[in-house]
Chain A
Amino acid sequence: MSSFINRHRNIIDFALSSLLRRKIKNISLLGVYTLIIFVLASLIFFVHALRREAALILKNAPDMVVQRLMAGRHELIPVDYGQKISSIRGVQDVVPRLWGYYFDPAIGSNYTVMVPRDNMVQPDNIIIGTGVARVRKASVRDLIAFQAYDKTPLLLMIQQILPYESELVAADLILMSEQDFQSMFNLPKGYATDLAVSVANPRELVTVATKIAEQFPDTRPILKSEILRTYDSVFDWRGGMMIVIMSAAILSFIIFAWDKATGLSAEERKEIGILKSIGWETSDVLFLKFWEGIVISLSAFLCGVLLAYGHVFFFSATIFEHALKGWSILYPQFRLVPAIDAFQLTVLFALSVLPYTVATIVPAWLAASADPDAAMRS
């Protein structure tokens, strides 16, 4: 056993010194390799962190939302639907929700306007998200002017600015009283945007949803689990699409690595020839090449992953955010919570180190199996 370990220690020693002897060639390879891993890792970490964030946010979402559809589009729902739904066995609570979007021509962005459940906002007051406060340069007790549905001005005073922790969900949020909501949007009486339904036993959700869909054929019940599923697949799809687009870059890198591995310099050929003539076997040279590959791959993997970690979790993935988050005037500013697990690292490994290794096996063998005299003479 110890002779086995010693043999490999010596080969690793030789591999390291041989890598250092060809600094320029190996540093250029390491640089490109690190770059590829950095881009892939940033993408994988970012998508995973966003998925996680979405799941955390939706934890507090209602179990089920019932929307009304008309001509295939979302319509206002009569509040008395809610009374009938609450009589279905198993339904714990039905709350009509009032919310909508307001376009602010002054800064060209959309706000989400909502009436909170527990009358936490006094009439003529609003509570705003940090994003709104930022773009309107407003602080508590300032007045903000809105335009009502009939173009009449509506002046509302800022009662509170939501804490920074809620930035990701509430950057563009404005909470107002029901009375102000009515004067802003003039919703018909007895209607709500949708209904939030809570069910005591989560196992009964599907049954309750089926009953609602049967009793009110013009409605669409949406379960929280379905929203989560949709988010998951949207993020997966975006991540996957980016990787498909990047596959051209990965392929170019593989060709680059193949080219570097096959294009042995005369000096390297000679070196292998000398090694073989002094008693190294083909398998020893193969081990040498194997350890060289491991050193390069692990260094690139480590550097790439560390750089990507900084990029995603300290700099909020500046390079990818626009492609992956979608577009908006009023971006939430948020720092993602670092979350990396073995799964992402394994995926990253399979997408980068594995193709690199496969691309270098045959060149390594070609170098190792050359005849010593021919190698030295070349």
Chain B
Amino acid sequence: MILQPAILALLVSSFLVSLMLLYAGWYGVLILKNWDLASGSDLQLNLEKRTYLISVVLGYALVFQIFSLFLYIFTADSLHTQFVGAMCAAGSLNVNHYGYPTLLLKIANCLLSGVWLIINFADNRGYDYPLIKAKYSLLMILAPLVVLEALLQFGYFKGLHADVITSCCGSLFSAGKRSVGADLAGLPAIPMEWIFFGVMAATLISGVVFCFKEWGGYFFSAASLSTFIISAASLVSFICLYIYELPTHHCPFCILQKEYGYIGYALYATLLGGGITGLGVGALMPFKKIASLVQVVPLIQRRLTWLSMLFYLLFTILVASKMLFTSFRL
């Protein structure tokens, strides 16, 4: 294991987030088993009070989660100098089998935490805790995933051993060792460009239809999830090529560096924002008919849809401007 301040910071933050989620999860189990709004028992009153705590805990956990996602990429990037063949985070994450699964799980957990907060927001608008069971059921999925992520992350960092010079041997690390894969292989660029713009257009159109006609909420949500996945694949496949102006460099992490004007942050923030709000629309669909939420849910859904479209539109504008205003052509 490499003892670096950033690694310690990540381990500490994952440990704390897991602890918070386990704490919230424990009360989640109690709520799922014993919740009875009609009862005035001590337990019920206590649980009602606890729901505030759990909302706060999860709010913080989501912020920490997003924070740790970027810190993780940053740390992986700063570690690349210590491994033969690694040029940036893409290489360091390849050093052992835990690197990429941890990253994917971190992204998934960010999305799920966002959806949880949206459901929680809607629930707080109803006077009778209408979504209490739904949100704590989602917590039952989220908590184990966050704990799994912390374990995978620990596995990743534990398995890192820097290729340093040792005084006892004359062997050359660089020659004897398997070099880590320095880059990612992307899907073919030209078809991906068509798919990316096609899916983005479909999402935006379905969003407008949903806002004005109140029809196709599930479709919009599914489309925005597909857009999220396809945009992430497009980042690796062709968007990065335009940013680096290199036909071979597919790394989705170097765009976070100063050399590229930190454009990666804008891209990832809009992508995550679009994904979370788009998924939130679908997550609220089953609750439209609940009496205490009849007025609230459609309003929240419309706002989420606009937000999601705004995020995706910004993402598309960023991508398109990069593609248009560079002399690089594929």
Instruction: Decide whether A and B are members of one complex.
Output: yes
A interface list, Cβ under 8 A from B:
43-44, 47, 69, 72, 205-206, 209-210, 213, 217-223, 225-230, 232-234, 236-237, 239-241, 243-244, 282-283, 286, 290, 341, 343, 346-347, 349-351, 354-355, 357-358, 361-362, 364-365, 368-369
Known: A365-B53, A368-B52. A206 touches B175 (CB 8 A): yes
- The secondary-structure label for the interface of chain A is helix
CB pair B5–A213 under 8 Å, yes or no, is: no
B interface list, Cβ under 8 A from A:
2-10, 12-13, 16, 19-20, 49, 52-53, 56-57, 60, 64, 67-68, 70-71, 74, 78, 81-83, 162-165, 167-168, 170-175, 258
Q: Which 8 A-B pairs have the closest CB atoms?
A: A240-B3, A350-B9, A220-B170, A233-B162, A236-B4, A365-B53, A210-B175, A230-B164
Which residues in B have their C-beta under 8 angstroms from that of A229? 81-83, 162-165
CB pair A243–B8 under 8 Å, yes or no, is: yes
Cross-chain contact of A244 among B3, B71, B74, B171 (Cβ < 8 A): B3
Known: A240-B3, A350-B10, A350-B67. A357 touches B60 (CB 8 A): yes
Give Cα A210 to B173, complex, Å.
Answer: 10
- Closest CB of chain A to B280's CB: distance in Å? 19
- The secondary-structure label for the interface of chain B is helix
Which residues in A have their C-beta under 8 angstroms from that of B173? 226
- Closest CB of chain B to A127's CB: distance in Å? 29
CB pair B170–A240 under 8 Å, yes or no, is: no
Give Cα A221 to B13, complex, Å.
Answer: 41
CB pair A358–B10 under 8 Å, yes or no, is: no
Which residues in B have their C-beta under 8 angstroms from that of A349? 67
- Closest CB of chain A to B153's CB: distance in Å? 13
CB pair B16–A358 under 8 Å, yes or no, is: yes
Cross-chain contact of A343 among B16, B68, B74 (Cβ < 8 A): B74
Known: A213-B170, A244-B8, A351-B8. A346 touches B67 (CB 8 A): yes
Which residues in B have their C-beta under 8 angstroms from that of A222? 165
- Since A44-B5, A222-B165, A358-B16 are in contact, a sample of 13 more A-B pairs with Cβ atoms closer than 8 Å, ordered by chain A residue number, is A210-B172, A210-B175, A213-B170, A213-B172, A226-B173, A229-B81, A229-B164, A239-B5, A346-B70, A347-B5, A350-B13, A354-B13, A361-B60
CB pair A223–B170 under 8 Å, yes or no, is: no
Give Cα A244 to B12, complex, Å.
Answer: 11
CB pair A221–B172 under 8 Å, yes or no, is: yes
CB pair B74–A240 under 8 Å, yes or no, is: no
